[in-house]
Amino acid sequence: MDTAPLKVCRLVEADLELSVASGDLLAEGSFEAEGEAPCDRCSEPVIVRFGKAFYTVLTPKGLAPAGSGPVELHEQDLDVGYYDGKGVEINDIFWEQVALEIPVKVVCSDRCLGVCPTCGANRNREACSCRTEDVPGPFNVLKNLIGKKE
């Protein structure tokens, strides 16, 4: 499983209760996971903990909706998966849930100042003497349009 942006990811705690109803496998559980990633602002290593409770219905693949045309999904359809064969891998159930919860952006703290774009110094540890200039961005043209009417 690709755990990007995490370098390492492992389950710390996991609970799972399985039951069978009308051929469907009902999986209800929770997990706590831990990973390590560089901060997206300053590149310092960060330990990330995350977890969630989940409920999934696994249906035999033969009972999947037929056809390859467009299908409208409803909210209850988002918690349905399909399995092939005589069983399922418990690890697959957990790693699917972990993959859905991996944070997209990792920061060491909300107040992280990041690195200086000029000299590369970590501004959380040291102040740099680089001048901050207002570099014109692609949307600066829009500032001139405020209040002007043709």
The tens place of each residue's pLDDT in the chain, 150 residues long, gives 677 888 889 999 999 999 988 888 899 999 999 999 999 999 999 999 999 999 999 888 876 555 556 777 676 666 788 888 777 888 989 999 999 999 999 999 999 999 998 889 999 999 888 877 666 778 877 777 776 665
The per-residue pLDDT for 73 is 66
Three-state SS string across the chain, please? CCCCCCCEEEEEEEEEEEEEECCEEEEEEEEEEEEEEECCCCCCEEEEEEEEEEEEEEEEHHHCCCCCCCCCCCHHHHHEEEECCCCCCHHHHHHHHHHHHCCCCCCCCCCCCCECCCCCCECCCCCCCCCCCCCCCCCHHHHHHCCCCC
Delimit the domains of the chain by residue range: 1-150
Specify the pTM.
0.70
What lies within 8 Å, CB to CB, of 118 at 6+ separation is 128, 130, 131
